[in-house]
Structure 1
Amino acid sequence: MLIRKLGILLTIIYYQMLIYGFMPTTLRLKNCRMIICKVSKWYFIYSLCVTGALLLQFPYLFPPGVFSGYSYMRNNIVLQGNFIVSVTLRVVAFVSCYSLVWLQRKRLIQIFMDFLLHWRNHWPILCRVAGLEALQKLQLQLAKILLRQLLVNNGMLLCSILIQYQLLNGAKLAQIVVRASHMLMVSTIRLGFCTVLILHNHQFEAVLLSLQALRQRVGCRSLEDFHRIATIHSEWVRLAKRAFKIFDLAIASVFASMFTVIVSILYHAVQYINQTIKSDLSGYIIGDGLVLFSIWNLVLVMNLVNRTINSCNEAGHFLRQFNDLPRLSPESQKELEYIRNNRLVYRILGCVVLNRPAFLGYMASMLNNVIILMQFDLKRNQGTSLPTVKGNT
């Protein structure tokens, strides 16, 4: 049912999540098809061990001499405060994600089963109505989006690790490994969220392609297919709402951590630009890459969220064009009215809407925070000197 390119990318992300213990159950992958297996007790024990190991590593995230001694942030209270907030939010994201995996395991497995069941049942109808070639082109587009997300995410991760190595002067290899493992954990969570969006986006756009194909047909068979496609759309809307509700707290904590990290990256960049922290050419190049990949990653996530929601609501809007079809039963009219009024809106914690305008507002807020933090530098004693540290961020 999946083209090979998209299936390979989903397999890579699946094994990343499996290694970090983020899967409530294991899947058996065969010919780009997923089959849910029973939860293995050995995988359960393995996941608990990974959780405990990552939890024990949190104290080692603090660099030596962060508040005193030889540290590039020992005289900068803003850097210290921002670092503490970043680590705290990472702990919150860590706890919320792993709590979701094991406290809500049955609900997650059930939504996985419903997802696969709907996919298998609806695929023949979508292929017959929209056409296999059109669906394969759609999957190819989504594979390119997911590949771009994977490359940008890994590029950001690589630059972050290199920056940490330079900031610590390579003296604490164990600490660098700890930081890298936690960065990879957060990266895996982001990729998992993007994968959920990609899969839902696939179904919504497949429904839209089917509706566009049905619009050109007339007859009793087209009315029957229209009723089935409308039912498929309403089922996927309900499934998407269930998924967003289950992942709500975990996604909120991850986004809060991500925005805090970007503020820290931008403020570090300001520190290096005004020579508050010294750097060499390699540090500037890696730091510029980190800033670029961080903003690029945020834009990609923003576009993916916006595309998924718009594809769902656009299909509902497209259904309005079927009001003039003859022989629509009163039940079908009611179903159309329900679908049109039941728009998909993603709200974090039930109050904060997550869409493109909201993302742009968050980015503007981040820039404002960086500008405010820069005011502290203007008031600092110009005679205060900080140790020279290689690297940029």
Structure 2
Amino acid sequence: MLHPKLGRLLNLVYYHAVLFGLMGATLEIRSYGKIVRLEKLTWMYLIYSFFMGSFLFFNVYLMLPTALLDGYIKYNIILQWNFFAMIGLRLLAIIGCYGTIWLRRQDIIQLSKDSLAYWRRYRKLLKFKVDKRKLREIQLSLAKVMGQKVFVLYSTIFCSTVIQFQLLSVINKHSLLALAARLTHFLHFLAVKMGFYGMLVLLEHQFRVIHLALDALHKKKGGRKSRTLRTIAAMHMETIQLARRVFSLYDLANASLFLNMFMTTVSILYHAVQYSNESIKSDGWGVIFGNGLIVFNVWGTFMLMNMLDRVVSSCNNVGHQLKEFSDIPKARGRLQRELDAFAMQVRRNHLVYKICGVVELDKPAGLSYIGSILSHVVVLMQFDLRRQEQPNNQHQYLTHLVRNKTQS
């Protein structure tokens, strides 16, 4: 019972993933009474996914000659190393994404089946125990956030494409082919980010539904509160388990996503420095789209970090809402036992998101992430200033040497 606006945006995410072969299979839901089946074109889609991944992998070759001969990169060793680092990370992203799809395809399909079973099991709770007006407001807010994310992603792609076109020193068949190759990688990166964001939207939706159910149960007078509370606790636990399975299943793909985001932001900011000191020539349109690229890229990064923090917080803050039940004068017997069991479950099952099980992503980590980007840009600027000073020093040394020889 998703709101149509949110449903359309999630369908957009799904179609992007299907187009780039990022699904375990094309899933078609068929319901036969109490049985849910997934009709899938597994092998055909797996072959399509293999060719899509191979195409993205091998079209990296098209970008190499043009980049090495491009005027604005040819005389800047930092930009050259930055370009090769970006190529390496894009290859890592392709291997991480499609390796996950090919090697863990059955796990992905099983996760889809379990998610559908989970949805069927708890949809009565959504239908009868949750305030429909508040649920509609939550879904509209999530649709608004998802729509903003889609707008930011496509705006980033558009600005980046315009800048890449302006940076071409010579417009010919080979340079345009290299630009098209870069554009395919941009779109693949967009599809991966949209998939990750769509997953976060669904998880936040379910955790916020749990909050709504607890709020409705607290206001309810009479009835079997203990049984409903047990159902809510089971839903909360299964949602945490689904979140952990998703995070674990796409761990390598998400790690490559964040690495690419980091390097992309560093590259954009360093190019902005080159534009500001006129090392790279640009016109008014270049300045406009360059500033737009910076704004949309930073905006998208903050939105992603904020959404991830909201998902984790909405899961772990359920314990605070359970404290509201302490004002019920007759919270004794079975209801009290269910409250104690639910509170113990929340304390023992905190949701965290760690990249490769090492780096935990939360608000402090997000600030460190931004600070690390700025530190890398400052270091690159120092190398750039030193590189610009070296020719002048060499020229002064040669002039001084010639004068000494003349005097002697």
In the superposition, the TM-score normalised over structure 1's length comes to 0.92
**Equivalent residue for 1:111?**
111
Q: What's 2:299 paired with? A: 296
Counterpart residue identity of residue 44, structure 1: L
Aligned partner letter, 1:361 = S
Residue 14 of structure 2 aligns to a residue whose secondary structure is helix
How far apart in 2 are the matches of 1:165 and 1:198? 34
**2:90 corresponds to 1:90:** yes
Would the aligned equivalents of 2:265 and 2:297 in 1 still touch at CA under 8 Å? yes
Task: Give me the whole-angstrom Cα distance separating, in 2, the residues matched to 1:282 and 1:208.
Answer: 48
Determine helix, strand or coil for the equivalent of 2:148: helix
Q: Distance in 2 between matches of 1:331 and 1:136?
A: 29
Measured in 2, the distance between the counterparts of 1:228 and 1:156 equals 43
Q: Distance in 2 between matches of 1:380 and 1:207?
A: 58
What is the aligned partner in structure 1 of residue 395 from structure 2?
Answer: none
1:266-308 alpha-carbon deviations (Å, 9 max, x no partner): 0000001011111111111111111111001101101110111
Report 1 or 2 for greater relative contact order, CA contacts < 8 Å, sequence distance ≥ 6: 1
Superposed displacement of residue 182, structure 1: 0.6
1:38 is aligned to 2:40:
yes
**Matched residue SS, 1:57:** helix
Equivalent residue letter for 1:179: R
* Contact kept in structure 1, 2:26 and 2:40, CA below 8 Å: yes
Query: CA deviation digits over 1:355-378, x for unaligned, max 9?
Result: 122111110110011111111222
Please provide the CA RMSD for this pair. 2.0
Gaps of 5+ in 1: 386-393
Matches of 1:384 and 1:304 in 2, distance apart? 48
1:230 aligns with 2:237: no
1:326 aligns with 2:332: yes
**Which position in structure 2 is the counterpart of 1:245?**
248
What is the distance in 2 between the residues matched to 1:376 and 1:308?
A: 40
Instruction: Trace 1:335-354 onto structure 2 (pairs within 5 A).
Output: 335-354=342-361
CA distance in 2, matches of 1:288, 1:372: 21
Shift of the alpha carbon at 1:185? 0.2
| Paired residues for 1:1-393 under 5 Å | 1-28=1-28, 36-64=38-66, 66=68, 69-169=69-169, 170-171=171-172, 172-322=175-325, 325-327=331-333, 328=335, 330=337, 333-381=340-388
Q: Distance in 1 between matches of 2:114 and 2:39?
A: 14
Distance in 2 between the 1:291 and 1:29 partners? 41
Moved more, 291-300 or 74-83: 74-83
Q: Deviations over 1:232-274 (max 9, x none)?
A: 1111011111111111111011101111010000000000101
Aligned partners of 1:333, 1:39: CA distance in 2, in Å? Answer: 47
Residues 293-336 of structure 1, C-alpha deviations (whole Å, 9 max, x = no match) = 10011011011101111111112332244466222364663343
1:38 aligned partner, one-letter code = K
AA matched with 2:79: L
CA contact (8 A) 1:320 1:340 kept: no
8 Å contact from structure 2 (residues 70, 168) kept in 1: no
Count of residue correspondences: 380
Q: Which has the larger radius of gyration?
A: 2
Q: Aligned partner of 1:358: which letter?
A: A
Q: Which moved more, 1:371-380 or 1:87-96?
A: 371-380
Question: Who is 1:388 aligned against?
Answer: none
Deviation for aligned residue 1:19? 0.7
d(CA) in 2 for partners of 1:20 and 1:250?
14
CA change 1:5–1:363 in 2 (3 A) is same
CA deviation profile, 1:35-81 (whole Å, cap 9, x unmatched): 73223332222212111111110112225262xx5521122111111
CA contact (8 A) 1:230 1:336 kept: no
Contact 1:6 1:139 in 2 (8 A): yes
Contact 1:61 1:178 (C-alpha < 8 Å) held by counterparts: yes
Once residues 390 and 380 of structure 2 are traced to their aligned partners in structure 1, the CA distance between those partners, rounded to angstroms, is: 19
Contact 2:322–2:339 (CA under 8 A) maintained in structure 1: no
State the identity %: 38
TM-score with structure 2 setting the length:
0.88
Secondary structure (helix, strand or coil) at the match of 2:28 reads strand
* Secondary structure, counterpart of 2:280 in structure 1: coil
* C-alpha distance after superposition, 1:64-110 (max 9, x if no partner): 262xx552112211111111111111111110110101110111111
